[in-house]
């Protein structure tokens, strides 16, 4: 591909996504000791997910906001309502009273390759004049966000410039398809930004529209990865699975017969060696279903059927 052809593809991709990128203004009320309440405005980006007025952005963009104003690409300025948000994946769904809004095409983030050219689009720094675009490559896949709570879907890392105001905007491939929602940049680093992959975004957005929240399966175990030292201390093979450290009383795992000391090696058809793999595997099954789990117990291989319940709301129960 020559430079002129590459340039044409970038221009076409940006032109295709332009009508689907919106600017989001937020307002929060802050307080300071010795002073009264004061308004804290914020600015970010969003991308149209559904032509009936549903937009995707980040949960951290709308969290705690008392008011939202959405500026669509066609010039309309409308109040926004938060349908739901998910702090674990940093995805939120916003609704505006509009129809026939051009929706972006969500691509296949599972097909991404390290080194692939990508484009970050959004209202960087809140500057007037429409969305901006930066180019880069996919630097890595399946990344956790450094210094944050665990985000189980894994993030797309890119060196495309993501600045304040880009949050909630799309990360594109050269076909103009959205393959991620920009979520964060690392202020002390050069060229390190992150996006939530669309394969996770699709599922989360569907859950938010149906329930206003994400319904996550829960079995009630605390597990540890079998590194060399832990495996040696328990007489186990490193990487053989996940060691069950604790089973919550009266939880689905407890009712199914799991015990502390068991090693979970498979969930349904998926082998599990890391905590993230266990969470991802469970998320593929609906709440209310039974999932077959292979466990090792005293050199015996057993299979148990564990019913999946919705994750409890209390932090103590989740632990």
Residues labelled catalytic: 60, 90, 167
Q: Which helix (H) or strand (E) holds 131?
A: none
Query: Which has the closest alpha carbon to 286: 214, 238, 217?
Result: 217
> What's the 3-state SS for 159-220?
CCCCCCCCCCCEEECCCCCEEEEEEEECCCCCCCEEEEEHHHHHHHHHHHHHHCCCCCEECC
Q: How many CB atoms lie within 10 A of CB 214?
A: 22
- Cα–Cα distance between 213 and 224 in angstroms, integer? 28
Per DSSP, which regions of 219-275 are E strands? 221-225, 242-247, 263-267, 270-271
- Cα–Cα distance between 67 and 26 in angstroms, integer? 6
The residue to which tokens 């059927």 are assigned: 305
Residue pair 69/79 in contact (Cβ under 8 Å)? The answer is yes
């Amino acid at each position: 591909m020559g430079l002129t052809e590459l340039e044409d593809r970038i221009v076409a991709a940006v032109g295709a996504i332009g009508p689907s990128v919106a600017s989001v203004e937020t307002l929060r009320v802050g307080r300071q000791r010795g002073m009264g309440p004061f308004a804290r405005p914020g600015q970010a980006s969003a991308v149209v997910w559904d032509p009936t007025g549903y937009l995707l952005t980040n949960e951290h963009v709308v969290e705690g906001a008392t008011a939202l104003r959405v500026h669509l690409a066609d010039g309309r300025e409308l109040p926004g309502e938060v349908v739901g948000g998910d702090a674990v994946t940093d995805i939120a769904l916003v609704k505006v009273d509009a129809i026939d809004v051009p929706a972006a095409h969500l691509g296949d983030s599972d097909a991404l390759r390290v080194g692939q050219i990508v484009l970050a689009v959004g209202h960087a720094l809140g500057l007037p004049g429409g969305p901006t675009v930066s180019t880069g490559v996919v630097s890595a896949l399946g990344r956790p966000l450094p210094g944050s709570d665990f985000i189980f879907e894994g993030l797309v890392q890119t060196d495309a410039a993501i600045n304040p105001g880009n949050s909630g905007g799309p990360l594109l491939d050269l076909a103009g398809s959205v393959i991620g929602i920009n979520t964060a940049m690392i202020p002390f680093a050069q060229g390190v930004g992150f996006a939530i992959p669309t394969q996770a975004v699709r599922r989360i957005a569907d859950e938010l529209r149906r329930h206003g929240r994400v319904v996550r399966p829960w079995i009630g175990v605390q597990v540890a990865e079998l590194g060399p030292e832990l495996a040696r201390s328990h007489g186990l093979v490193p990487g053989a699975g996940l060691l069950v450290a604790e089973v919550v009383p009266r939880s689905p795992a407890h009712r199914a017969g799991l015990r502390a000391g068991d090693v979970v090696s498979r969930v349904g058809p998926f082998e599990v060696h890391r905590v993230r793999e266990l969470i991802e595997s469970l998320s593929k099954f609906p709440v209310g279903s039974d999932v077959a789990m292979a466990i090792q117990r005293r050199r015996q291989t057993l299979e148990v059927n564990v019913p999946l319940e919705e994750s409890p709301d209390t932090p103590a129960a989740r632990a």
